Chain A
Amino acid sequence: MYKKRFNKKPGEFKGAFKSRRRKVCRFCEDKIRYIGFHNDRLLRRFVNERGKIVARRVSGNCAFHQRRLTTAIKRARHLAIMPYTSEYYR
């Protein structure tokens, strides 16, 4: 497993926006490496009302953690800990 450097700063946009406001990845802050897929409370925070995974620029996650988060959410969906979409029981 490669070493993860925490708190990489998000890069600058060329054009309309100046360098992005410092939104630190909360996983980097807590120095968390592993995101568990059993933990629906945590995972739900990164999913919108329709059950879709939230984009990185909204959630503020760094690329490393966003990837891990995504696999965790997808695993949780497979195990019916999280829904794939918002409407099931009618």
Chain B
Amino acid sequence: MRIYESTFILSPQADDVAFDQQIKAVIDLIERNDGKTIQEDRWGIRRLAYPIKKFTQGYYTRLVFEGNNKVLSELERFYKLEEPYIRYLTVLFESDPKERILGDAVQSSDATPVPNRTEKIEEPVSASETSESSRPGNAESAAEETSPIPVAEEAKTEELPAETAESEPESNDEPEKTEE
């Protein structure tokens, strides 16, 4: 049994109820085939970088689950056949550090401003993502590991502070880009 991560995009022409049903259908499929959902991460409606099937927006969802190869083949078949799933990608789950079953920072939709961003600026700049493990906020993630939590909203705000570290070196890039 390996841990996988499946991200899929649902057609935006649906309401919240329909989204729930569609996501639940995927989870049920995983469970039916001796799989286990570890984390569900919904990004909501987001602007697509390019039109897919004439849509310019889509409802993004990310699932982390444990399963065998049967789960995988069933899942791929399911995505391919069913209409609302317009894009999907399933990969082996990786994370840095590995012990935390949390993905990387999730960015919300371009259309809606993220109020969390203002919090990020006040956070102390951390040199690396790994330093997050020493933060008090990570007591949450430790708890999340032990019990599978269906929705991990807290993952978003927790991960954002790491972005300040990555945006720091950017100012050095511009002069360095001039060719030697």
Check if B27 is an interface residue, CB within 8 A of chain A. Answer: no
Check if A8 is an interface residue, CB within 8 A of chain B. Answer: no
Report how many A-B pairs have Cβ atoms within 8 Å.
81
Q: Is the Cβ of A75 less than 8 Å from the Cβ of B89?
A: yes
Chain B contact residue count (CB 8 A cutoff): 36
A79-B87, A80-B52 are known contacts. Are A32 and B128 too (CB-CB below 8 A)? yes
Interface digits, B126-146 against A, CB 8 Å rule (1 contact, 0 not)? 011110000000000000000
In the complex, the 9 A-B pairs of residues with the closest C-beta atoms, listed nearest first: A36-B104, A34-B96, A30-B128, A80-B48, A83-B49, A80-B49, A88-B50, A34-B94, A39-B104
Q: Tell me the B residues contacting A by CB distance below 8 Å.
A: 7, 9, 48-52, 56, 58, 60, 62, 87, 89, 91, 94-96, 103-107, 127-130, 163, 165-167, 169-170, 173, 176-177, 180
Can you report 8 residue pairs joining A to B where beta carbons are below 8 Å apart?
A32-B96, A34-B95, A36-B105, A42-B166, A45-B170, A79-B7, A80-B49, A80-B58
